[in-house]
Amino acid sequence: MSRKRLIVLSLGGTITMVPQAEGGIAPKLGAAELVASVPELAQVAGIEADSPARLPSPSLKPDHLVAVARRIEDAFAAGADGAVVIQGTDTIEESAFLLDLLVGGDKPVVITGAMRGADAPGADGPANLLAAARVAASEEARGLGTLAVLNYDIHAARFVQKTHTTLPSAFGSPMAGPIGAVAEGRTRLFARIGRLPVLPADGGPPRPVALLKWAMGDDGRLLGALPGLGYAGAVIEGMGAGHVPAEAAQALGELAARMPVVLASRAAAGPVFTRTYGYPGGEIDLIRRGLIPAGLLSGLKARLLLGLALRGGAGQAAAATAFAPYQ
């Protein structure tokens, strides 16, 4: 059997950070340095390493991930068997979902990072990188889309969330749980998920979409300003299964007449309902007013999918089609 080939792309993040003279830690290490610091990687695959960016993950933009998706597609076309993307953990759940939406085919794409800096006692970066590479090189991971591998857990991109600010076990999948783990150096899957439609990476970055979380007593006064601020659409994180105060329902309907509006939930897990609550401001009322249910997606991920669906001047129909598989 020929030796596997992986492309490893680093965007920065805590996994690359070392102390700086002025205090704190900052991204310094590149992909090649990270790979060299984990000698066991040479036993996993032949690795091509590159660093398209060296940024803390809050400074990453969807444009960066669209470029990474295209780079991965080029590498796959040239014969690479899998890809590992390294970045900061603050936005891993968004980056993983973007790559899942944009990179087609069966070859594994795995994203990883670290909760502790490279020079910290007990730094988790080397173990996470090695585990991610093992998953990316495995036959078991084929056909699953993009996966997030941290703390030996394997998460599906559509479910993974950062659930803690500091623990190495910061990542979970509240909707479904991890779909596997890396144990004894092997990729062990507990479940497989089907791939959902992939959107073209060459269509450019997502269009700007506003994300609003509804809170008790919010009267929706921001809604009318959104079209004038240049947003192409909006995602509303409603209460519970997708609800807002009765007095806000009309304003949401008026907004949905001007731009696509997606209804998500502010809860950590669970689908948006579509046919249970019929009171004013309930999900039945909001859907009748033109809002599109986000299905199983969180507000963060619904925002990215809506932005991609609206590229090229597409509107309500394209948005509804994009969310249909997630219901």
**pLDDT tens digits, residue range 89-128?**
999 999 999 999 999 999 999 999 999 988 888 899 999 9
**pLDDT tens digits, residue range 36-51?**
999 999 999 999 999 9
Asked if residue 122 and residue 11 are part of one domain, the reply reads yes
Q: Per the structure block, which two tokens stand in for 15?
A: 């996994």
CATH of residue 113's domain is: 3.40.50.1170
Asked if residue 219 and residue 142 are part of one domain, the reply reads no
Centre a 10 Å sphere on the Cβ of residue 295 and count the other Cβ atoms it contains: 18
From CA 146, how far away is CA 104, in angstroms rounded?
9
Q: Per the structure block, which two tokens stand in for 74?
A: 């080029």
Centre a 10 Å sphere on the Cβ of residue 55 and count the other Cβ atoms it contains: 18
Report whether 55 contacts 11 (CB < 8 A). Answer: yes
Residue 177 inside a domain? The answer is yes
Q: Does 112 belong to an annotated binding site?
A: no
Asked if residue 141 and residue 80 are part of one domain, the reply reads yes
Asked if residue 286 and residue 258 are part of one domain, the reply reads yes
Residue 195 inside a domain? The answer is no
From CA 279, how far away is CA 248, in angstroms rounded?
12
Asked if residue 279 and residue 135 are part of one domain, the reply reads no
Which among 145, 160, 189 is the end of a domain?
A: 189
Total domains, the chain = 2
| pLDDT for 80 beyond 80 | yes
> Looking at 14, 91, 112, 146, which residue is catalytic?
14
**pLDDT tens digits, residue range 135-185?**
999 999 999 999 999 999 999 999 999 999 999 999 999 999 999 999 999
* 14 classed as catalytic: yes
Q: Does 166 belong to an annotated binding site?
A: no
Could you tell me which residues are beta bridge partners of residue 85? 9, 111
Q: Which domain holds residue 16?
A: 5-189
Q: Per the structure block, which two tokens stand in for 37?
A: 């610091």
Asked if residue 133 and residue 98 are part of one domain, the reply reads yes
Q: Does 89 belong to an annotated binding site?
A: yes
Asked if residue 160 and residue 21 are part of one domain, the reply reads yes
